[in-house]
Chains A and B, each alone.
Chain A
């Protein structure tokens, strides 16, 4: 069955226009969770391969699951493709299948041109050898001849900015230097297609910016990309089309903006399923103290109605329902808001003590309200970490992560935050 579809396909591809640089047709790939069984299957598959018999690759055997199922994607010359999906959705498997590292189990992949894969930077670096020696080894692994390496060596050096250190052993390099050198090696192999797997998450902000600038330049020169990333910004900036994978299936494929918002919506859904718990299970939280429990967190509008989502620029109250068992004096509420895609940096950090507020919570169920005249956050999904504590170092109760969504209002395109504003025109009185 598979054979047939491959043959049909190759006839088809002649008719397709010549610009298609990667053509993925009905590709599936299965894996086995049990290691021992995987080895036994491996031996059987190798035997089938050697004797040329069918290995029945289109059916699952016991203990196997589809890591990719019937994925079909076309990428044209100069186009860039983004791959998103939660962990384990098959992004890396797809990337490895495209790069030819592993064989597809059904379907076919047709590729025109030279591929370079940035799956791990500096694969094959020997820490004992100098940077120079490693550049030569690394680039010949990527398929360049000595003359070609000689030609691009200076550019690699300039990009990686390791001029002085090039003759020192790579072991003495910082991780950033190593990443830069690895990235430069791959970039200067002049590939037609570049596969990038979240490698740009390493390195400092300056290096990342530099990489993206370089990638943009390459894109303008006609290089195609397949980019796997969790950062929506990276994909939005580089890719025209995006494929959203979930459990090995293509959920959606199309313009990056649309796919991205669908993905983020789904992320929130996953969140709210368990998210109901985030508010409900708090009372069972054993970490809380005897004096005060946080019961739930919710948003309200200025009329007191509960809000499911916030909207940029609209007013909102953050309400913390809690139950005090005795008078709590000098409570401090700390709130840290983070972007769901970037849990390292906080976007907002609000602290009642720094706001010069002394909160006194009388016994009984209380609601602490934080008024936000304008929600300044841009559209997206965020998490709140919230704590009620007193000086020094005593935490009454803590909510590790509460997820919420901020929706788009019409005038929030290309903005990083909402700026409250008003317009007017005043006549300038010119003195004579």
Chain B
């Protein structure tokens, strides 16, 4: 049964997961079909964003720059006591903040994508992968601008970089994959229940302090254990090490988390796809 001819669409109440092969084919097809649309939406968003503003892309670097400046000030005055870092502290903390924020943006990406496209989702049927791709494109765009700023900072502080910097995009992309995977897996709850998205704000704040963003991996055994349990740690630390020293301290956990993140991404995509019709029913 169910040989649906080409150009014919069939809507039934049955779960799509019962026919996984067809589902995967549809997923792949929609991903492919949404490339052009995603590109267009990305250009629309970026243009729309900067057409109203005089400072333009400066706004992309203000938040990490302020965080970095604050932390540097705290460290210099001795309020904060941070151990020895491989490179001058301002550059160190700036790089860490940029990487952390990229992860955070990726984590929030599905929720923001759905929220900003509400009217569209409620009225037009189109491949929903497009809005996620658009958001990811935006994250990459922001990352590139922020990295340009980091490079400028590195030049000012005369920080030497390792040749392994050319490998660092892999680690950064894995960081984005991890964030997106978690975000997609949480789509049903974050978009249906307001409490969860509120809770996420608190959780991510705590998460920030448990990630070696502003400090190197601590020596204190308990803290060290907690920080190492954090899946963001190996990805963020590795990305930083690839840029600065070139000596990797946690290659194994990096590989492990990367594979988990990739599996999570596929699972998250699946859940996103299956959940979308129910979300649309309720957000419109």
Contact = CB atoms under 8 A, between A and B. Distances in A.
B79 to A, nearest CB: 43
A205 interface: no
A109 B11 contact: yes
A260 interface: no
A129 B120 contact: no
Contacts of A112: 7-9
Count chain A CB atoms within 10 A of each CB in B123, B126, B189, B282 and give the residue with the most: B123
Interface string A11-43: 100000000000000000001000000110011
B10 A110 contact: yes
Interface in A84-114: 97, 99-113
A140 B37 contact: yes
A50 interface: yes
Interface string B151-167: 00000000000000000
A419 interface: no
Interface in A302-359: none
Contact of A126 (B48, B277, B279): B48
A146 interface: yes
A11 B7 contact: no
A141 B120 contact: yes
Q: Which of B120, B122, B271, B282 has the most CB of A within 10 A?
A: B282
Interface stretch (B14-22, B88-96, B226-234): B14-22
Interface residues of B, number: 46
Contacts of A201: none
A136 B40 contact: yes
Given A52-B17, A123-B119, A126-B48, A142 B193 contact: no
A129 B16 contact: no
Interface residues of A, number: 55
A2 interface: yes
A43 B188 contact: yes
B192 interface: yes
A42 B282 contact: yes
Contacts of A258: none
Nearest to B3: A10
A120 B14 contact: no
A274 interface: no
Interface string A124-165: 101011000100110011110110000000000000000000
Contacts of A43: 188-189, 192-193
A120 B119 contact: yes
B124 A123 contact: yes
Nearest to B18: A52
Nearest to B193: A39
B260 interface: no
A117 B126 CA distance: 11
Given A45-B278, A49-B17, A128 B9 contact: no
B51 interface: yes
Interface string B30-57: 0001001100110010011001100000
B84 interface: no
Nearest to A120: B123
A99 B51 CA distance: 34
Interface in B180-221: 188-189, 192-193
Contacts of B119: 120, 123-124
Contacts of B18: 52
Contacts of A108: 10-12
Given A38-B282, A128-B51, A136-B40, A49 B1 contact: no
16 contacts: A2-B13, A6-B12, A7-B1, A49-B17, A49-B278, A57-B13, A101-B280, A103-B12, A108-B10, A110-B11, A112-B8, A123-B119, A124-B120, A137-B44, A141-B120, A143-B33
Interface of A: 2-3, 6-7, 10-11, 31, 38-39, 42-43, 45-46, 48-53, 55, 57, 97, 99-113, 115, 117, 119-120, 123-124, 126, 128-129, 133, 136-137, 140-143, 145-146
Given A42-B281, A133-B44, 15 more contacts: A10-B1, A39-B192, A49-B275, A50-B17, A102-B280, A103-B13, A105-B13, A110-B9, A112-B9, A117-B123, A129-B48, A140-B36, A141-B37, A142-B124, A143-B33
Interface of B: 1-2, 7-18, 33, 36-37, 40-41, 44, 47-48, 51-52, 117, 119-120, 122-126, 188-189, 192-193, 270-271, 274-275, 277-282
